[in-house]
Structure 1
């Protein structure tokens, strides 16, 4: 059985895992960022001084396999209206907080909810510290907080933590034992890289001789990766970890309708493509995206699963 470790956060990671949980003879471990400080997650984090659970919640629902997985997903993602008391909170976050109190720990909540939801695979935080993400911009501006980073009309120089952040031991063990390590899919600077800037994590990845794969975002993210090419994404990974962090990059090659492209362009977002520069890694072009009911570009879990299975077949 192949051991696959995926690092990331947000809805992109959830889309990947929704497909990857169906891969036969594979043991999937998700290492998830806990740097989110916005919305319901941020309010709970500030009130109770606990790591962010929002991305963990998304991954739990994506990897759920019980007969009632659909209902559980709706419940976990349900958000109360308003802004006072429970208003604005995700029910899943409140359930997670309650489970922390019942079990006595952040990991206890993950493990208990994983059993209840029939999660296939293992979910691990990158750290158990309450870590705050900072970004130094190209003009020298310092931005504090994950939620604030994409809001500035600026270019990100690098992201970092000011305090000492300790890696979660089980996350390091999973990386050392992996047969395949995957970065993404997710916001480059606020979902993927926050895992890589924790001391010990890039070293564990580097020391493992297994293949490292980057699933590149399909669209640029305003305020975060404006104008980025596929190569720029990999350069950012390298800047925050080690030289040649990826052996293979998988990039979306699906054709998007003109009206969808125009709508995204109006928001400052464009398809991520290669700039044609020299690469030290292999590139696979695959049709990875679908359109949601609202016309949003989303990664297709089934297409991601097929790509990962293709990679695994090449390892055999």
Structure 2
């Protein structure tokens, strides 16, 4: 028997229902540590969960994929999809575990060894294929063979693909995008293989087949181009051993390389940034004041957000800004057209910033690190810029910050950003101090998952009364 259609009154009630979803703005590796926290909050609220991920990363092995194929920076999207593979403690699901290992696997750093291992994988002669069913194995392998064919097609005397440290998951996602012609379809395919639940979505901030880069402006007038240069500069991998004495000659040099870059585009956006380290980073010469998108020639452009991101925000009761690099993981998603207005909509009851446990290169320099208020201001100004012009954002009154941040969750301990509870309270922003934990060998405090879950559940009103609260977990003002 077919299902009966809803009555008019039922449809009206559904349309007028309060938004219940949760939208999380985050990047990749740092926020992956909180996936179980957000999963628990979603389950207790019985709602949808959407992760909004930027696509502007041009560092690591993604830089080689962008150089040869163009397209968005996909590393953080792949990382989140694979992290969302469900763990079932009651069942020994060896295939899911094998798929997680497979898509997280990186080839060796040494170029020759990387190429040899890649050939083993696409020829199905590698231990990574163990415990993956034949159906999924052949589907995955067909996409990997496609990307391998596309790499061979683009082979030129001036340009060969470097497999060093390449992520198998990134290669798969790029191959799926090239095969379908759709980034969204590629994400759907990888989500299906990874068994990501239908109630949880991973949404690229921009749904695009093109490469989009960012630039940052510092307080001293310095401009930094490209996410890799902003967040974790690395020594570039030269395609040839040449000394490039000037930018003009460098541009001509790269124009002679046949890859996916347009002639005359900025050299800094065309290089390989395969090797980098997030440790021992140098301070920026001054604070970052603003972030914007650029075209390949360095000119500022305004871009619209992925319509599915705006749809998720329209269905959300809560927005969470997760931990991670402020200016390269969070802000790139907020400055897109439509996002600021959607976040400021009164239907969103909670706009929660989970404050980083420490400052990094983007929120320094160490002599003048960001405070909690500085984090809030950066988010509010990015959202305001999304709604209008640069001038509107730069003149944004502090009283408007609460339109974009209503609650701030933070830690106490060595190196944590300073939190002025009284000043934030005057702005209408509630602060919540939660319990942290220290890992041996680390100099900073980490969030305790259970403490963070309890804090978020208390805010959203769905806390399970059967759970025992951590002592001294909440210190709300």
TM, length-normalised to structure 2: 0.59
Give yes or no for contact 2:57–2:73 (8 Å, CA) kept in 1. Answer: yes
Give yes or no for contact 2:216–2:225 (8 Å, CA) kept in 1. Answer: yes
Residue 155 of structure 1 corresponds to 287
Aligned residue for 1:157, secondary structure, equals strand
Q: Which whole-Å CA distance do the structure 1 matches of 2:223 and 2:438 have between them?
A: 36
Aligned residues: 302
Q: Using a 3 Å threshold, how does the CA distance of structure 1 residues 199 and 192 change in structure 2: closer, same or farther? A: same
Give yes or no for contact 1:20–1:304 (8 Å, CA) kept in 2. Answer: no
Residue 184 of structure 1 corresponds to 322
TM, length-normalised to structure 1: 0.86
Alignment of 1:125 with 2:152, yes or no, is: no
Residue 46 of structure 1 corresponds to 67
Alignment of 1:100 with 2:149, yes or no, is: no
Aligned residue for 1:148, secondary structure, equals helix
Q: CA RMSD in A?
A: 2.5
* Higher relative strand content: 1
Q: Using a 3 Å threshold, how does the CA distance of structure 1 residues 188 and 292 change in structure 2: closer, same or farther? A: farther
Residue 223 of structure 2 corresponds to 142
Residue 252 of structure 1 corresponds to 411
- 2:303 pairs with one of 145, 165, 171: 165
Flag as ranges the 4+ runs of structure 1 deviating above 6 A.
Answer: 292-296
Greater alpha carbon shift after TM alignment, 79-88 vs 32-41: 79-88
Question: Over residues 172-217 of structure 1, what are the superposed CA-to-partner deviations in whole Å (9 max), with x where a residue is unaligned?
Answer: 1111111111112211111011111111111111124321111111
Q: Which whole-Å CA distance do the structure 2 matches of 1:59 and 1:306 have between them?
A: 23
Greater alpha carbon shift after TM alignment, 288-297 vs 105-114: 288-297
Q: Which whole-Å CA distance do the structure 2 matches of 1:60 and 1:300 have between them?
A: 23
Aligned residue for 2:227, secondary structure, equals coil
Q: Using a 3 Å threshold, how does the CA distance of structure 1 residues 105 and 290 change in structure 2: closer, same or farther? A: farther
Report the alpha carbon displacement of residue 311 of structure 1 after superposing the two structures with TM: 2.2
Q: Using a 3 Å threshold, how does the CA distance of structure 1 residues 102 and 309 change in structure 2: closer, same or farther? A: farther
Question: Over residues 73-106 of structure 1, what are the superposed CA-to-partner deviations in whole Å (9 max), with x where a residue is unaligned?
Answer: 3322222122543112111111211222343311
Q: Which whole-Å CA distance do the structure 2 matches of 1:307 and 1:76 have between them?
A: 33
Aligned residue for 1:133, secondary structure, equals strand
> Where does the alignment leave 5 or more consecutive residues of structure 2 unmatched?
1-18, 88-92, 112-161, 234-283, 294-299, 385-399, 465-477
The 5-angstrom pairing of residues 166-315 of structure 1 reads 166-210=304-348, 211-226=350-365, 227-242=369-384, 243-244=400-401, 245-253=404-412, 255=413, 270-275=415-420, 278-279=423-424, 280=427, 281-289=429-437, 291=439, 298-313=446-461
The structure whose Rg is larger is: 2
Q: Which whole-Å CA distance do the structure 2 matches of 1:77 and 1:100 have between them?
A: 18
Greater alpha carbon shift after TM alignment, 152-161 vs 177-186: 152-161
Question: Over residues 251-308 of structure 1, what are the superposed CA-to-partner deviations in whole Å (9 max), with x where a residue is unaligned?
Answer: 123x5xxxxx6xxxxxxxx222314551120001112555388777554444433333
> Where does the alignment leave 5 or more consecutive residues of structure 1 unmatched?
256-260, 262-269
Report the alpha carbon displacement of residue 54 of structure 1 after superposing the two structures with TM: 0.7
